[in-house]
Structure 1
Amino acid sequence: MYLVTAQSPHMNLKIFEFYKYLLLVGFFLIMNPIIGQSTDSMKGNVKMKTYNYADTLLLDFYTVQTDTFKMKPTIILVHGGGFTAGQRNGGDEKGISTYLAKLGFNVASIDYRLSRKGKSFGCDCAASIKMNTYTEAVADLSKAINYLTKEEKPFQVDSSKIFLIGSSAGAETVLNFLFMRYDYRFKDLPYPDANILGAISISGAVVDENNIYNGNKVPLLFFHGVKDSVVPYGTNAHRYCATTDVGYLNLNGPKSIAERLSDLDGNFKVYNSEEGGHEWASLGFDFPELISQFIEQVLNGEATMRDFETINSTVEIKE
């Protein structure tokens, strides 16, 4: 038997207010994660997650999450270290990746094989071994881009708007990826079906600038020390090895690449430090505004530069 009792209007009002309170609390609990996510996006909070893109190789993916699914221009960053050292998550790499992600880009800072770790990459390292090292790194960069563009959904990568940034060995990897594709030593690598809009080379060089032609030219931004004794500013031997050294291998730096692009009506901007050396492989990261400005110009179709400009490091500027 159930006992039914009459309730006063005052009691009914209290019950109504109680249920109203429960509904409001429930609504707040449901909406709170959504509100929190929106707040993170508005503040430009950068999310970083590490992925295994090939074998034991990893990449750190930086992005600002948004409430709407939108494909984004994506920047691939390749660290330096002479193929013997370096890391995707060093201070320079984290700094530029976070800076660019806050501007709305995806950024992937990648590992690649350090096949000369614990070994020499100098004048006593045979030129053939150096070439194998270059091709291995280009293969790894290709795999990373394939991974990011074939798995578009979780990454929101616009495969038609890819930019590359490299420092030292990473810059050599970027430039060889762009321009050595049809060389017999590079032609069979797993190149991605993606469109590279532009690239930034920080103390880098390419094996042969004559492989640049109208079909593969892209706007390029360079930072380089004119007195770099590791990677030449113009055309010279890697590490300035003698012709009699087993490691003798000519490389072509920004001056030679820019001259080639000029002949092809290509676009470039070379920032050179007249007294600078290979320390610019790190100092180049001190100019994130110039890097982001270049990327924006390329995206907007305004990268019509063809010039050289002297630059000083931030340390020299402060002094």
Structure 2
Amino acid sequence: MKKCLLFFLILFSLNQSFSQEVLIDSLFRVQPVTTEVYAEKDSTQLIVDLYQPETSSKEAKPLIVFMHGGGFAGGSPRNPAEVRFAKIAAAKGYVVGLISYRLVRKGKSFSCDFDADGKMEVFKLAAEDFLDAVSFLKKNAEKYQIDPENIIVGGSSAGAEAVLDAVYNRDLVLEQKNAYPDIQFKAVISLAGAIVDVRYLTEKNAIPGIFFHGTDDNLVPYATAPHHYCDPESPGYLILDGSKTIVEKLKEFNSSYLFYTFEGAKHEISGMPFDDLPAIFQFIKSVVFHKEQVQTTVYH
């Protein structure tokens, strides 16, 4: 009887393990975080904290690079919510890089009293920092067992603005056209982000996107509206294209998207969406690795 019970327990355990999926389920322990300096700018060391799955396999792993929010004035890659996200993703089989960048508006305004040209310069600097971090990781792909052909990127609030501009508006926000030609992405995650001009989102750069946004976001527009809803007469008046407008463009190009729209919500939707992470990871696996097309809007 005991032998029979043991046999069924082993069989049950094997069935459970066989049913689990890499990049979907938590299969790995996470190594202690590794910190690297990816650049030094304006006397500031810019770092990436790397979270890696603990595995004996030498196989290259997909990379997620995430950029924190904070109005280009604050925030940190060591924000507890983002660290928790990094550990969750690493346990599924991703290498995750949480990056710092130049906080050029620290102690200063980034609202309607800060001129639009200055805002464009901030977007440029942040996008450059982000792309430099990705470039560093790509150059060290072998060291960190990164698959340089499968890079997923994301950001929250200001970080999402920088990442989205680097993905969809690179030729607009960067001074040098076709900068970073060797850096391409497979998908982007945006938590309450926007881009400068959706007209620069083309069929060529329309990579799949995952978007979270509140319809009443008072800082970063949900659709197309002024940044911080500034008055047209104010120095900081700058039209941005938010998640809804980006998704409409992706739909036009038959690109995949997963769009979570929160009726009546404001900028709190820039927080990490832990309840929806399973759907995010399923979308990435289906679209990036299985080459499926998914166009889904979820209303809350």
Common fold, TM-score beyond 0.5?
yes
Shift, 1:191, TM fit: 2.0
C-alpha separation in 2, matches of 1:188 and 1:140: 16
> Aligned pair in 2 of structure 1 residues 179, 201: CA closer, same or farther (>3 Å)?
same
Greater alpha carbon shift after TM alignment, 63-72 vs 119-128: 63-72
Matched-pair contact (CA < 8 Å) for 2:206–2:255: yes
Match of 2:256 among 263, 267, 273: 267
Question: In structure 2, what is the equivalent of residue 281 of structure 1?
Answer: 270
Question: In structure 1, what is the equivalent of residue 153 of structure 2?
Answer: 164
Question: In structure 2, what is the equivalent of residue 53 of structure 1?
Answer: 38
- For each residue in 1:198-234, what CA deviation from the matched residue of structure 2 results, as whole angstroms up to 9, or x when unmatched? 0110000010011111111111011111110000100
Matched-pair contact (CA < 8 Å) for 1:143–1:192: no
Q: Does 1:175 align with 2:148?
A: no
Question: In structure 1, what is the equivalent of residue 12 of structure 2?
Answer: none
Match of 2:74 among 81, 85, 90: 85
C-alpha separation in 2, matches of 1:283 and 1:69: 30
- For each residue in 1:150-185, what CA deviation from the matched residue of structure 2 results, as whole angstroms up to 9, or x when unmatched? 112211111100000110001101110011122264
Matched-pair contact (CA < 8 Å) for 2:124–2:173: no
Q: Does 1:136 align with 2:125?
A: yes
Task: Count the aligned residue pairs.
Answer: 271
Shift, 1:66, TM fit: 2.1
Match of 1:213 among 192, 198, 202: 202
Larger radius of gyration: 1
C-alpha separation in 2, matches of 1:201 and 1:184: 18
Q: Does 1:95 align with 2:80?
A: no
Shift, 1:269, TM fit: 1.5
Shift, 1:92, TM fit: 1.3
- Give the residue type in structure 1 aligned to 2:190: S
C-alpha separation in 1, matches of 2:171 and 2:274: 31
Match of 1:200 among 186, 189, 194: 189
User: Aligned residues: percent identity?
Assistant: 36
1:166 alignment partner, SS class: strand
Greater alpha carbon shift after TM alignment, 182-191 vs 217-226: 182-191
Q: Give the TM-score, by structure 1 length.
A: 0.81
Question: In structure 2, what is the equivalent of residue 310 of structure 1?
Answer: 299
- Give the residue type in structure 2 aligned to 1:249: L
Question: In structure 2, what is the equivalent of residue 153 of structure 1?
Answer: 142
**Structure 1 unaligned blocks of 5 or more:** 1-40, 312-319
User: Alpha carbon RMSD of aligned pairs, Å?
Assistant: 1.8
> Aligned pair in 2 of structure 1 residues 263, 299: CA closer, same or farther (>3 Å)?
closer
The structure that is helix-richer by fraction is: 1
Q: Give the TM-score, by structure 2 length.
A: 0.86
Matched-pair contact (CA < 8 Å) for 1:139–1:191: no
C-alpha separation in 2, matches of 1:184 and 1:96: 29
Match of 1:111 among 63, 79, 100: 100
1:232-243 maps to which residues of 2 (within 5 A)?
A: 232-243=221-232
> Aligned pair in 2 of structure 1 residues 80, 42: CA closer, same or farther (>3 Å)?
closer
C-alpha separation in 2, matches of 1:266 and 1:72: 24
- Give the residue type in structure 1 aligned to 2:200: N
- Give the residue type in structure 1 aligned to 2:35: T
> Aligned pair in 2 of structure 1 residues 189, 112: CA closer, same or farther (>3 Å)?
farther
- Give the residue type in structure 2 aligned to 1:222: F
Q: Does 1:228 align with 2:213?
A: no
1:54 alignment partner, SS class: strand
1:116 alignment partner, SS class: coil
- Give the residue type in structure 1 aligned to 2:276: F
